Each structure stands twice: as C-alpha cells, then as structure tokens.
C-alpha cells in the first residue's frame, strides 16, 4: 500500500503514542526527533507503508526496554484472555452447517479479533467482539471473494500473523486449513514489536505442532524488503493470508502473481477508501489473479 497525505501524521501518532508513556520525560524530545527525521526522509508517494512502519518503529523502539516489558505483559494477558474463549469459539465454528460455513465462521472470528487500536492500548485485549459474535449480537463481516475455494485450490499457504491474543483465533482457521490439505508456513515477528505475535505466542497456542513451518520476520512482512530466505518462502507460496492493518499496508499491491486474503478490522480512512468499506467494518477479502467461481 502506498501512503496517502495523512498516513505520515497517523504513523507519528501510532508509534509515538505507544512508546512515549514508557520512557523518561527527558528522553521524549530525542525520541520525537528521531521519529520525525525518519518520516521526513522516507515518506514518499512511492513508499511501502509496511516498510515505513518498520523504519518508524525501529527508530524509537528497543528491546529490551521498559516499553518492551510493558507489551510483553500486555501480550501475556491477551493470550490468556483469548485462550479462555477458544472453547466457545470452536463450538461456534462447529455449529456451521457446511465445511464452507465452518471455515467462514473461523475467518470471521480471526478477522474480528484484530482489535488493536491505532492509539496506545489501555490494557490487554478482552475480545468482547468475539463474545458478541458468538452470542449473536454482532453484524456479519464483509466477505469478498471465494476464500474457501482459494484455500482448497492451494497447496502452499503463507499465513502472516498480527498480534498476540488474536493469534489464538488464527489457530482455529489454520486447523481447518490443514484439514483441507495445504501446507502452511506461519510468519511471526522475530522479537517484541509492540503487541505483535512472536514465536513464543505461537507456541502458547500450540501452532508449532500444527503448521508445517514457522519463520520470523523483523517487522511487517513487506516483500520487496525481505531477506533472501524469507522472500523465497513468499515466492514459493500460492496463497498468502494476511492478518491486520500492518500486513495490509505491507502487502497490498505487492502480491500481483498470487492470491492474497486480507483479514482485518478497518481502522483508518485511507484503507476504508481503498477498499470502499466504512471504518469499523470487519473484512475478509480475496485479491489477486482471477477469482474463483462461487
């Protein structure tokens, strides 16, 4: 995804708001200056938003740090909150009348679990949206394209995760994918990147025993900026499933030779305009090549 005018301002707000509360006041001017310098240098009409996010976060966020420690605790609590809901989530999925319906229900929950705000989170995620869906108190998502058919037609799927906690609901989608036969490579972050999922979070939900391979990225998975080994993994996949705003920004427009499924909650006006969907909506969208008939 290419940046629009307001993206630089939003990126400044997103990164600074998440790091500043966990730094000494005397460190804040330098932190803001490094972030601004990065944005002034790198925000251009042809830039990739995922790469911009990576550069902005790298300029001010270090691990270990007080900020990293804060997000590790937030992630731990979010994982526990998600795990407590998985039994009910599985029952909701199993109530689907057909394999397609079950799979779409799992994708709905995974997309709805994408609750991280653009501003600084106030605490661990409780996934009230998931509870509302299970209880029948929430609207249906925007499903665009035959996602179920795309998975059945695939042999090698690259599944790019987003945050801790919500990766638990990704595990429900991946379990159904594995039943359909494709091999799955899971992408997590190499180290704490705010509340993004790492190897430890994947293991918490047993995904290391479900997927065929796990790989680690330094930040958002922007194909043109990947090291050779990760790019080969991307190149060798025939379907990419991308979770969250950051993955959308990194991959939209970068998967022209393969299908991609985007699962996220629309949180900003540029993405809303690009997809033609209102902010706040939950989206599961198939892009790329010729769409499969329903």
Per-residue pLDDT for 37 more than 60?
A: yes
Q: What is the pLDDT of residue 158?
A: 98
Per-residue pLDDT for 124 more than 80?
A: yes
Per-residue pLDDT for 294 more than 50?
A: no
Q: What is the pLDDT of residue 87?
A: 98
* Overall size of the chain counted in residues: 294
Per-residue pLDDT for 290 more than 60?
A: no
Q: Of residues 144 and 197, which shows the higher confidence score?
A: 197
At 178-193, the pLDDT tens digits run 999 999 999 999 988 8
Q: How confident is the model at residue 293 (pLDDT cuts 50, 70, 90)?
A: very low
Tell me the percentage of the chain whose pLDDT exceeds 70.
Answer: 98
Q: What is the pLDDT of residue 86?
A: 98
Q: What is the pLDDT of residue 4?
A: 82
Q: How confident is the model at residue 202 (pLDDT cuts 50, 70, 90)?
A: very high
Q: What is the pLDDT of residue 289?
A: 63
Entry pTM? 0.94
What's the mean per-residue pLDDT of the chain? 92
Per-residue pLDDT for 247 more than 80?
A: yes
């Amino acid at each position: 995804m290419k940046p629009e005018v307001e993206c630089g301002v939003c990126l400044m707000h997103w990164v600074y708001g998440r790091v500043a509360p966990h730094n000494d006041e005397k460190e804040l001017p330098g932190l803001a200056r490094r972030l601004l310098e990065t944005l002034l240098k790198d925000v251009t009409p042809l830039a990739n938003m995922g790469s911009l996010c990576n550069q902005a976060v790298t300029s001010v966020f270090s691990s270990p740090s007080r900020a990293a420690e804060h997000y590790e605790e937030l992630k731990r609590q979010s994982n526990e909150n998600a795990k407590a809901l998985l039994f009910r989530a599985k029952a909701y999925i199993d109530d689907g009348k057909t394999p397609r319906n079950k799979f779409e229900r799992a994708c709905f929950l995974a997309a709805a679990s994408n609750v991280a705000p653009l501003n600084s989170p106030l605490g661990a995620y409780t996934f009230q949206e998931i509870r509302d869906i299970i209880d029948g108190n929430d609207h249906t998502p925007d499903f665009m394209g035959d996602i179920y058919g795309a998975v059945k037609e695939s042999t090698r799927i690259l599944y790019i995760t987003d945050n801790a906690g919500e990766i638990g609901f990704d595990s429900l989608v991946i379990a159904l994918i594995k039943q359909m036969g494709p091999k799955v490579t899971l992408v997590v972050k190499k180290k704490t990147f705010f509340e993004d999922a790492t190897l430890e979070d994947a293991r918490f939900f047993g995904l290391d025993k479900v997927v065929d391979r796990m790989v680690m990225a330094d930040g958002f998975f922007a194909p043109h900026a990947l090291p050779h080994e990760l790019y080969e993994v991307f190149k060798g996949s025939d379907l990419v499933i991308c979770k969250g705003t950051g993955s959308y920004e990194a991959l939209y427009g970068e998967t022209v030779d393969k299908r991609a499924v985007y699962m996220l909650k629309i949180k900003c006006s540029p993405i809303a305009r690009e997809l033609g969907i209102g902010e706040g909506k939950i989206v599961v969208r198939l892009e790329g090549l010729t769409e499969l008939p329903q």
